[in-house]
């Protein structure tokens, strides 16, 4: 989210700089070369730039010796980055089987994949990837039986596939496309407008958009979007993002003429999302405050010229997701007085709370979302972290259930109340995402697009177990592997987790994970607290002062896998990204004895300073802030960077990050890796893989995903003492696609 193993020369990086800088880089480079040569012995790591920085947190002095690495563009930092990459890739290139893993990943990735269609103006729009295309391509067709027409191919926008489609909205008549592009994985977007019939772009250009989509008015004359002010030069990738504003762009006019619809000069952290209702009569403004699962709802009557913005829900007490409306009646999914969520109706003509009506009451399962299609509500529930889809009439009466192929994840069910059909995708650990068309009146599903099976699902098995965490809470865990494995403690196992921000980790197909299982690996997902698997209470049980529950849950999962003979410490690896990277960092610093290897990716590792960069302030709803004394006392206890202990034997670790990550800035990973390398007293390698021209993960080209996946598994093959002989040989059929050898 790859070819980053390039050792960039001094002149290319810095131009004609001082001899001192050149000497510094030479020292870094020589250190890396020496380290790579001794990788089988005790690794000599590049010396990271250090300083005597100490900060005072409410009377507690905290050292930050690697503060200089917060500036990734300084000559010292660039030298260290370059040397670390040289060391890491030198280590990886020596691993027997790495090329074979990459070859198998490439073969397995080479299958057609489709996105869920949407319908606008009688036209269908969907994405498709032929297999190894770096970015999926957008198509449209007037009929599902006709050959689709090319709409937008992001692969033509850059030579290496690092420009990605990051957002889009299609006008009501299906003739105009507003689309956002991001480069090198950045959260920043530029929006453009394409005429769908001619395939040509118009002159419209919208810049400095972040965390926003676009929403057309039904007359097709323009769209709403949100943006930030242009950042100061040099601050684009690390400066804090405050004072988002909601604008209306009129087609054919410069951005400087865009109309400011709403802003709050008194609330720098408020963020605005403006969406036009399906009937075109209202713009719904959802106001959020960081990642807090509470929001406000304002609206604007688009039938009234210069009508006011009306504050419908103006208290920060719950989450309200707009579903649809019938005239002045607005439907919302909310966790107000319902921690697992329900559907309510609010008549904006009588907005007082006493007049609110419950349509679908809370159930035992967490309600994740509601779609309104064909005169019905499609309610998506999670039952022990797997999808269940139930239908209801607009009066809330149960109308049935959508039959799914098995234990997995389903998503989609978009459309309008007047539509007769909807589409959804279904996937599981061994079932690639398949797109289904659902006939609303008949209540029947049919396959729209099904990818070619690159594995035999019957060769694998998935089970869900429940184990006790430290405080006795039961935690679900999915375990998937080849059938017939022996529970003798010798299976290489990869345990994955996230545990934050109300995000649920559900079954899904991953080529990378399938290849891991082909090699004899066990893949496990622990649905720990902090996520949304069981609603608000589950999320609240793993945030702020209760964040330690997440780490206890994950540690207990590792202990369960060992106790039940799936694996053992020398064969157990843990991994996670972003908040999951924090999870891994905290767990290896709290229990370094428990794991054989760790793969923390783009993690939040400095819990005392995360809020000082880009959108980091928004995460204080889950983490708290070191600016608060009580929060600081909790954060300092588990912050991965601050709990690394000198002269400690840590598991083999490969940190991964990207130099263009403007969400979790790479300084987190830089400082953590430098500190871990300095403290590790054991023989296990501590490496950092720093991707170039990539960001936090979104929009990463297929080639980079394959490269990074190969490096992750190669690292585990080496450090968990595996072999790759179990990989299934593949041949090519006449179409050039990879095909499994039949037994």
Q: Which of 120, 127, 696, 703 is catalytic?
A: 696
Q: Are 176 and 170 in contact (CB under 8 A)?
A: yes
Q: Which residues contact 241 (CB under 8 A, 6 or more apart)?
A: 210, 211, 228, 614, 615
Is the sign of the CA dihedral 581, 587, 589, 595 positive or negative?
negative
CA 88 – CA 5 distance, rounded (Å): 9
Q: Is-catalytic flag, 622?
A: no
b/e sequence 30-47, b meaning 16+ C-beta within 10 Å: ebbeebbeebeeebbbbb
CA 506 – CA 365 distance, rounded (Å): 14
Residue 351 in 3-state DSSP?
coil
b/e sequence 162-187, b meaning 16+ C-beta within 10 Å: bbbbbbbbbbbebbbbbbbbbbbbbb
Q: Are 594 and 649 in contact (CB under 8 A)?
A: no
Helix (H) or strand (E) holding 507: none
Question: CB count, 10 Å around CB of 311?
Answer: 14
Is the sign of the CA dihedral 226, 232, 235, 236 positive or negative?
positive
What are the angstrom distances between the C-alpha of 669 and each of 7, 451, 598, 688? 19, 37, 13, 8
Token readout for 23 is: 């000497």
b/e sequence 492-530, b meaning 16+ C-beta within 10 Å: bbbbbbbbbbbbbbbbbbebbbbbbbbbbbbbbbbbbbb
In the sheet that holds 376-383, the strands lie side by side as 366-373, 376-383, 386-393, 398-402
- DSSP lists the bridge partners of residue 412 as 424
Q: Alpha helix locations (H) across 206-341?
A: none
Q: Is-catalytic flag, 631?
A: no
Q: Which of 504, 578, 703, 709 is catalytic?
A: 578
Q: Is-catalytic flag, 696?
A: yes
Token readout for 391 is: 């239908």
CA 421 – CA 562 distance, rounded (Å): 48
Q: Which of 169, 204, 258, 661 is catalytic?
A: 661
- DSSP lists the bridge partners of residue 499 as none
Token readout for 520 is: 């004899």
Q: Are 714 and 521 in contact (CB under 8 A)?
A: no
Nearest to 229 by CA among 244, 215, 214: 244
Token readout for 142 is: 């007037």
- Torsion of Cα atoms, 202 then 207 then 211 then 215, to 10°: -30
Active-site positions?
A: 578, 661, 696
């Amino acid at each position: 989210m790859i070819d980053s193993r390039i050792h960039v020369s001094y002149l290319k990086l810095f131009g004609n700089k001082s001899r001192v800088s050149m000497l510094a880089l030479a020292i870094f480079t020589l250190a890396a070369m020496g380290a790579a040569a001794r990788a089988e012995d005790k690794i000599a790591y590049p010396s990271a730039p250090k300083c005597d920085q100490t900060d005072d947190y409410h009377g507690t002095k905290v050292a930050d010796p690697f503060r200089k690495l917060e500036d990734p563009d300084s000559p010292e930092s660039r030298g260290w980055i370059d040397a670390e990459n040289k060391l890491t890739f030198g280590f990886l290139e020596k691993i027997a089987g790495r090329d074979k893993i990459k070859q198998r990943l490439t073969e397995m990735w080479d299958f057609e994949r489709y996105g869920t269609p949407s319908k606008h103006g009688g036209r269908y729009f969907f994405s498709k990837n032929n297999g190894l295309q770096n970015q999926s391509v957008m198509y449209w067709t007037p009929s599902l039986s006709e050959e689709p027409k090319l709409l937008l191919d992001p692969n033509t926008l850059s030579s290496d596939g690092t420009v990605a489609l990051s957002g889009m909205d299609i006008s009501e008549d299906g003739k105009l496309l507003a689309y956002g592009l991001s480069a090198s994985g950045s959260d920043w977007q530029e929006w453009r407008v394409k005429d769908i019939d001619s395939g040509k772009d118009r002159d419209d250009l919208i810049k400095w958009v972040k965390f926003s989509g676009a929403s057309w008015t039904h007359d097709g004359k323009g769209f709403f979007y949100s943006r930030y002010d242009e950042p100061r030069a040099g601050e684009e990738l690390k400066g804090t993002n405050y004072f988002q504003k909601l604008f209306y762009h009129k087609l054919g006019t410069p951005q400087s003429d865009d109309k400011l619809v709403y802003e709050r000069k008194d609330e720098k952290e408020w963020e605005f999302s403006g969406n036009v209702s399906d009937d075109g009569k209202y713009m719904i403004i959802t106001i959020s405050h960081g990642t807090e699962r509470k929001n406000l709802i304002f609206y604007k009557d688009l039938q009234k010229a210069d009508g006011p913005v009306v504050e419908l829900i103006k208290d920060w007490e719950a989450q309200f997701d707009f579903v649809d409306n019938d005239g002045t009646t607005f439907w919302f999914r909310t966790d107000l007085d319902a921690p697992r969520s329900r559907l309510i109706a609010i008549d904006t003509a009588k907005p007082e709370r006493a007049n609110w009506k419950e349509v679908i009451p809370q159930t035992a399962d967490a309600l994740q979302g509601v779609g309104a299609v064909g005169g019905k509500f499609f309610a998506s529930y999670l039952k022990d972290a797997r999808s269940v889809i139930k239908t209801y009439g607009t009066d809330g009466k149960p109308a049935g259930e959508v039959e799914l192929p098995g234990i997995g994840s389903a998503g989609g069910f978009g459309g309008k109340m007047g539509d007769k059909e909807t589409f959804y995708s279904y996937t599981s650990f061994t079932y690639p995402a398949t797109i289904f068309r659902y006939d609303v009146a008949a209540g029947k599903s049919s396959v729209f697009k099904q990818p070619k099976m690159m594995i035999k699902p019957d060769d694998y098995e998935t089970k869900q177990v429940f184990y006790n965490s430290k405080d006795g809470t039961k935690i679900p865990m999915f375990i998937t592997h080849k059938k017939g494995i022996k529970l003798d403690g010798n299976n290489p196992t990869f345990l994955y987790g996230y545990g934050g921000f109300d995000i649920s980790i559900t079954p899904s197909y991953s080529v990378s994970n399938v290849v891991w299982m082909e090699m004899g690996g066990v893949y496990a997902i622990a649905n720990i607290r902090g996520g949304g698997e069981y609603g608000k209470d589950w999320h609240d049980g793993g945030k702020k002062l209760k964040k330690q529950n997440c780490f206890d849950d994950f540690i207990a999962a590792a202990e369960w896998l060992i106790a039940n003979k799936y694996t053992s410490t020398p064969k157990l690896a843990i991994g996670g990204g972003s908040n999951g990277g924090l999870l891994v960092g905290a767990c290896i610093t709290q229990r370094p004895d428990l794991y054989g290897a760790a793969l923390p990716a783009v993690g939040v590792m400095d819990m005392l300073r995360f809020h000082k960069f880009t959108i980091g302030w928004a995460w204080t709803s889950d983490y708290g802030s070191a600016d608060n004394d009580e929060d600081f006392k909790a954060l300092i206890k588990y912050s991965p960077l601050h709990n690394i202990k000198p002269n400690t034997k840590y598991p083999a670790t490969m940190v991964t990050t990207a130099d263009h990550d403007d969400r979790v800035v790479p300084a987190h990973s830089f400082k953590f890796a430098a500190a871990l390398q300095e403290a590790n007293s054991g023989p296990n390698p501590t490496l950092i893989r720093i991707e170039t021209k990539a960001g936090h993960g979104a929009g990463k080209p297929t080639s980079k995903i394959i490269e990074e996946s190969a490096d992750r598994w190669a690292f585990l093959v080496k450090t968990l003492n595996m072999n790759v002989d179990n990989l299934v040989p593949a041949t090519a059929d006449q179409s050039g696609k990879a095909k499994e050898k039949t037994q």
